[in-house]
Structure formats: structure tokens, C-alpha cells
Amino acid sequence: MAITAEGLIQLGYKPEIDFSLQNDGGDTYIKSWMSGDAQPTQSQIEAGAVAWKTAYDAKAYSRSRAKEYPSIADQLDDIYHNGIDAWKATIKTTKDKYPKP
């Protein structure tokens, strides 16, 4: 693996405040470390990246739902014209398509 911003973010560091990364065509490296904390090791950063990816993948259903839900304006229009139960049925279709794990 490699050093990634996601791994450092997972460890609680902020880009451009605590660190900056650079890639000159090879491996990405920490260009500057500005945090008052000791710089984490590559293995710590890699473990953070794995944890970040696991959390990101666990929310795939949420990102898929967000793409398919009608706009808020359309949802409010649906409620106004068809009532809450019809709106719930519309939303349930997407929730059923992309269930929470």
C-alpha cells in the first residue's frame, strides 16, 4: 500500500493544516508535516486507510439511495398531491432496492 490522505484523515489529521502530500510520479509521500503530533508511520497510515475504506464501503447503500431519491421539491410535491403514505411508498422502493447491511 501507500501513504494516502484518507489514511491520515482517518487518523484524525487535516490536509493542508496537519500535512501535505506530494507525488512526483512514484510513490506518494508526506511533503510537509505541520501537526504538533509525531508523524505516523507508514503502517499506521496504511491501517488508517483500510479503516477509512471499510467505513466508506459500509455506506455504499446510502450513496446509492441519495442518487435515486427524488429531489426534496419533488418529494414535497408528492406529499402535497398524494399524501404521506404515497410518499412513503415512493421512498420505500429505493430503500428496498438498496437496503442497509
Q: Which amino acid is at 53?
A: K
Provide the domain limits for residue 53: 5-58
Give the separation between CA 16 and CA 31, rounded to whole angstroms.
Answer: 11
**C-alpha grid cell, residue 72:** 426534496
pLDDT score, position 1 = 74
54 and 36 housed in the same domain: yes
pTM equals 0.73
28 and 41 housed in the same domain: yes
What is the per-residue pLDDT across 78-93, written as a single tens digit (0 to 9) for each?
999 999 999 999 999 9
pLDDT score, position 70 = 96
Is residue 70 classed as helix, strand or coil in its secondary structure? coil
26 and 10 housed in the same domain: yes
What is the per-residue pLDDT across 40-91, written as a single tens digit (0 to 9) for each?
999 999 999 999 999 999 999 999 999 999 999 999 999 999 999 999 999 9
Q: 4-42: string of b/e by CB count within 10 Å (b at 16+)?
A: bbbbbbbbebeeeebbebeeeeeeeebeeeeeeeeebee
